[in-house]
């Protein structure tokens, strides 16, 4: 599809840390991109102890504009994204994660929407890379505007499928490295509050890889929830609200009375674990960040 305007030079930034098992799949997908403008790939290595970097090097002949840079001075995807973005040469910076797989039109679709907007969110698919038992039993937020329901605030999308203009990245000072998790929401909201415009590219699909084991999934949900009270502390003055106490109590009642879910089928067990880990994370995060957001 032609936009009638020249598409920007693009930089794809991938934070990598111990992703040797999957990074080759992502680089293979990037090598099949339909975007015919100038673009590059930047592997921002966040201190891998496995052979992630060696795997990435094998793709240099198929991704000639690929660079591998050291982003190990501070742990966290936000730091790796910042280091990669500051080394990037493109006018549009697109982010994906090493353990996911982008669709062939991913970069082209993001670039097309970027001629009209500063922040561009793509769409997430949870089916291709995950067995049925690991797929969400809740409604997946494939459209970022649906994420309004999660916080009743501004739209946001996950950091593994977003692009921003160089201007907006520089003006915002990059990703907030104090957020180990929750950086996706913080980044999206901060850019919008600074006046940068939000766009959506439904054809920019990323196939998302869920955590396989129940323990890994619970740990991920807990860590995400830890940072929700910090988000509340940072954005409540801008209108971010917390849920009513009656709603919180209803959720806890559901968690306690649905304990038998743990003994049922895998998908129901996964859903119960997700909700319980989320609530426990919020409680711990409320104490840690001194902001009541249960």
What tens digit of pLDDT does each residue of 12-56 get?
999 999 999 999 999 999 999 999 999 999 999 999 999 999 999
Share of the chain above pLDDT 70, in %: 92
pLDDT band at 139 (very low <50, low <70, confident <90, very high): very low
Residue 213 is predicted with a pLDDT of 82
Over residues 249-253, mean pLDDT: 92
Cα separations in angstroms, 181 against 79, 112, 169? 12, 29, 19
Averaged pLDDT score across all residues of the chain: 90
Kindly report the three-state secondary structure assignment for every residue of 41-75.
Answer: EEEEECCCCCCHHHHHHCCCCCCCCEEEEECCCCC
- Give how far the C-alpha of residue 41 lies from the chain's centroid of Cα atoms, to the nearest Å: 18
Residue 143 is predicted with a pLDDT of 56
Count Cβ atoms below 10 Å from residue 55 Cβ, excluding itself.
Answer: 21
Give the C-alpha separation, 32 to 21, whole Å: 19
Q: Is the pLDDT of residue 149 over 80?
A: no
Residue 25 is predicted with a pLDDT of 98
Residue 253 is predicted with a pLDDT of 92
Q: Is the pLDDT of residue 2 over 60?
A: no
Over residues 144-161, mean pLDDT: 74
Over residues 260-275, mean pLDDT: 80
Which residue in 202, 210, 213, 248 sits closest to 229, CA to CA?
A: 248
Contact 119, 162 (CB under 8 A): yes
Flag the least confident range among 39-43, 140-144, 258-262.
140-144
Residue 170 is predicted with a pLDDT of 97
Domain spans of the chain? 10-207, 214-289
Count Cβ atoms below 10 Å from residue 127 Cβ, excluding itself.
Answer: 12
Tens digits of per-residue pLDDT, 192-206?
999 999 999 999 999
64 contacts: CB under 8 Å, gap ≥ 6: none
pTM metric for this prediction: 0.90
Helix-helix angle 183-193:228-235, to 10 degrees? 10
Given this structure, which CATH class describes domain 10-207?
Answer: alpha beta
Which residue in 124, 101, 127, 108 sits closest to 28, CA to CA?
A: 101
Tens digits of per-residue pLDDT, 57-103?
999 999 989 999 999 999 999 999 999 999 999 999 999 999 999 99
């Amino acid at each position: 599809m032609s936009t009638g305007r020249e598409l920007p030079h693009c930089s794809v930034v991938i934070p990598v840390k111990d992703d040797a098992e999957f990074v080759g799949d992502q680089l293979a997908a990037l090598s099949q991109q339909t975007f015919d403008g100038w673009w590059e790939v930047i592997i921002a290595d966040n201190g891998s102890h496995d052979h992630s970097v060696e795997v990435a090097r094998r793709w240099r002949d198929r991704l000639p504009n690929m660079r591998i840079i050291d982003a190990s001075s501070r742990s966290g995807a936000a730091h790796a994204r910042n280091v990669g973005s500051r080394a990037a040469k493109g006018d549009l910076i697109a982010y994906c994660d090493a353990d996911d797989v982008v669709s062939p039109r991913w970069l082209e679709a993001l670039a097309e929407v970027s001629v009209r907007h500063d922040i561009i969110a793509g769409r997430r698919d949870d089916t291709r890379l995950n067995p049925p038992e690991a797929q969400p039993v809740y409604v997946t937020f494939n459209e970022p505007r649906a994420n309004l329901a999660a916080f009743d605030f501004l739209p946001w999308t996950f950091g593994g499928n977003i692009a921003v203009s160089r201007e907006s990245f520089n003006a915002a000072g990059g990703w907030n490295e104090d957020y180990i998790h929750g950086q996706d929401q913080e980044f999206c909201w901060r850019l919008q509050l600074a006046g940068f415009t939000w766009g959506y590219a439904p054809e920019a699909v990323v196939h998302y890889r869920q955590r396989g084991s129940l323990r890994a999934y619970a740990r991920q949900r807990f860590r995400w929830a830890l940072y929700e009270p910090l988000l509340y502390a940072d954005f409540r003055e801008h209108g971010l609200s917390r849920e009513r106490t009656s709603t919180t109590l209803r959720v806890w009642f559901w968690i306690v009375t649905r304990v038998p879910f743990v003994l049922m089928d895998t998908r129901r067990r996964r859903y119960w674990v997700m909700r319980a880990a989320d609530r426990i994370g919020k409680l711990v995060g409320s104490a840690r960040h001194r902001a009541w957001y249960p």
